[in-house]
Structure 1
Amino acid sequence: MAHRQRTRRTAVERETVDFGVAELLQDPDRPRAWTLLIDGTPQSHVDLDDPGHLEFEYVRRLGHVVDLAAPPGRPLRVLHLGGGALTLARYVAATRPRSGQQVVEIDAALVDLVRRRLPLERTSRIRVRTGDARQVLSRAPEEAFDLLVADVFAAGRTPAHLTSVEFVTAAARALRPDGLYAANVADGAPLAFARGQVATVLAVFPYACLIAEPAVLRGRRFGNVVLVGARRELPIAVLTRLTASDPFSARVVHGEELTRFAAGAAPVTDADAQASPEPPPDLFGPRT
C-alpha cells in the first residue's frame, strides 16, 4: 500500500471479501491491467498481458531485489507473506521461469476473487495458501527459500506480530545462507516505526539497507520504505543505480548512514510490538 496512482480509473467490480470490500479498477492505459483496492486502499496492480510491468513504486523496488537475488533468469524459491493480486509472484514467474513460489494470504475470499478475475498462468508454479503469515512461517522448513518478501497490511497497517525480532528471526531461519529478506514498511514523520524496523532487521541480519524516496526519508510525505536484510553483502552499487533510474527515484541507505538513521531506536520484540502507523485519510485521494 501507500503509493501514488493515476486518477483515470473506473470501478468495474466491488465484492465483499473476508476482511473488507475489494474493488477491481481497470487501467485505461493497459487493456488487461487492473488495480486491486481493499476498503479504498490500493493493494496491487496487475497487467495480465505483461506481468513484468510493475506500476507501484515500492513494488518496483521489490522487483529490483528480485532481480539481484541471483544471476538473471535463475529460478528462485520464494515465500511471499501477503498476497493481494500476486503482482510480485507473477513478476518472479515471468522473469525467472521455473521458480517455485509460495504465497500466504489470510483472506480466502480475496484469493478466490483474484483467481477468478485475475487468473494465473498455468505454468507459473505459484502456490497460494490461506492462513496467518506468521503461523505459516513458523512451520516453514529451515533454509528453504532464496527470498522472503513480507508485505502484509490489514486496514492499511502492518500487523504488530509481523514487526518483531522474533518474526524476523523466523524469516531468517527459513532463508538459505545467501537468501534475502525484504519487507515493505509504511511510515511518515517522525519515522519512529521505520527506525524501529531498521533496528529490528539489524538485530537479526549483519547486512541491511533501506530504499525510499528522499521526501519519505525526510518525513515530508507518508510512504513506503523497503527494508532488505541478508547474511551476505548486498549489491548496493547496482541497487542504487536501479532505484535512481525509476520514474520516482529513490535512495538506498546502508552502512554507517543506516546505523545513524536507526540511532536511538531499539529492536522491536513481541512484548512491545505495535502495528504500523495508520496512513493519512487523504493519502489515496477521493474514492471512486
Structure 2
Amino acid sequence: MVWRDAQATSLLLNTTRVAQSVRWHDGRETGSYWELLSAVPALARPGQAEGGSALYLGVAGGAAISATQAAWPALRPQGVEIDPGVTALARAHFSLSIPVAHDDARRFVAKDTGRYAVIMVDLYATGQIPAHVATVEFFESLARRLAPGGVVAMNVYGGGDPESIVGPLAASLGRVFPGLMAARSASGNTLLLAWGEPMAVATAEARLRAAPEAARRAALRLSRTLEEGAPLAAGHAPLTDERSDMEIRAARALSR
C-alpha cells in the first residue's frame, strides 16, 4: 500500500506497522536505516565505488537506492525485487529509475555473472526472514559476485529480540567473509558489513571519513556505532541450508 499524508509518502508491505520506504515531501531525511546505506560504498576499497557496480537485493520503494545514488552518481546500480507490482509502485510514487530484475534474490545471484563493488541485502523485514537467504550457502554465492575490495551490507531487523536474529546471521556471514562488522541505526536496525579480506575498525572509519559530501552525515552516523562483528557472532552456530531455525527465531522475535 502507498500511503500519502500531508508530510510524506510511504510504502507499506505486508503490514501497516512498518514502512519499507518513506519520502518526505520537503526532501528532508527520514532518520531511518536506508539513509545510512548511502555511506556504504565508502567502505569498499578506495576507488571501487567510482564507476563500479552495485547490486541491490530487495528494492521496495528504492529509498536506500535513491540516497546512495545521490551520493555516488557514478555507481552503476542493478536492483532485484521479487514482486513486479512493488516495482511499479516504486516507479510511480518514489521516482525509482534503476534497472530492476524481478526474481528471487538467491536464484538471481546463483545465475548472475556480474561482479559488484557494493552488494546491499535488504530482504529481512517485519520479522519475516526468508530462511534460504540467511544461510552460509547464500553468503557463499554473494562472495562469488563481490568484486575484489568490495563490501556487502545487510539490513537486519529483529523485532523485539534483535540479538537472536543478528547473532546467527553474523556467525553465518563470518563463516564466509574474513572481514565482519556491525553498525546500529536509530530506527533499531542492525547493518551487518562484510568484506572478502580482514578489515579493522580504524580502517573502516578512515574510509567513512573520506565519503563524499552528500554521504558525509550518513558516514558520521555509521561510524559512531561501528563495531567488530565477531562478538555478535560468538556463541551462535552458522545457519546452513541443512540446518536453520531462522523462521522460528523470526516468529519469536516478532511476537515479543
- Identify the TM-score tier after normalising by the shorter chain: 0.7 to 0.9
Which position in structure 2 is the counterpart of 1:91?
67
1:1-288 mapped onto 2 (5 Å cutoff): 22-26=1-5, 28=7, 33-38=8-13, 39-40=15-16, 41-46=18-23, 54-69=29-44, 70-71=46-47, 74-120=50-96, 126-141=98-113, 144-153=115-124, 156-187=127-158, 188-189=160-161, 191-212=163-184, 223-232=188-197, 233=199, 235-238=203-206, 245-246=220-221, 251-254=225-228, 258-273=229-244, 274-275=246-247, 277-278=250-251, 280=254
Structure with a larger share of its residues in strand: 1
Read off the aligned partner of 1:46 and give its amino acid letter: R
Confirm or deny: 8 A CA contact 1:165 1:268 kept in the other structure.
yes
| Runs of 5+ consecutive residues of structure 2 not aligned to the other structure | 210-216
Is the CA contact 1:76–1:146 (under 8 Å) kept in the aligned structure 2?
yes
CA shift, 1:153, in A, is 3.5
Paired amino acid for 2:23: V
Q: In structure 1, what residue type is equivalent to 2:192?
A: L
Structure with larger Rg: 1
Provide, for residues 127-164 of structure 1, a one-character-per-residue CA deviation record: whole Å limited to 9, x for no partner. Answer: 1111111111111115x110111101465422111100
How far 1:85 sits from its partner (Å)?
0.7
Separation in structure 1 between the aligned mates of residue 84 and residue 42 of structure 2, nearest angstrom: 30
Q: Which has the higher helix share?
A: 2
State the 1:166 CA deviation: 0.4
Q: Distance in 2 between matches of 1:249 and 1:88?
A: 18
Taking structure 2 as the reference length, what is the TM-score of the superposition?
A: 0.80
Unmatched runs of 5 consecutive residues or more in structure 1:
1-21, 217-221, 283-288
How many residues are matched? 239
Shift of 1:102: 0.9
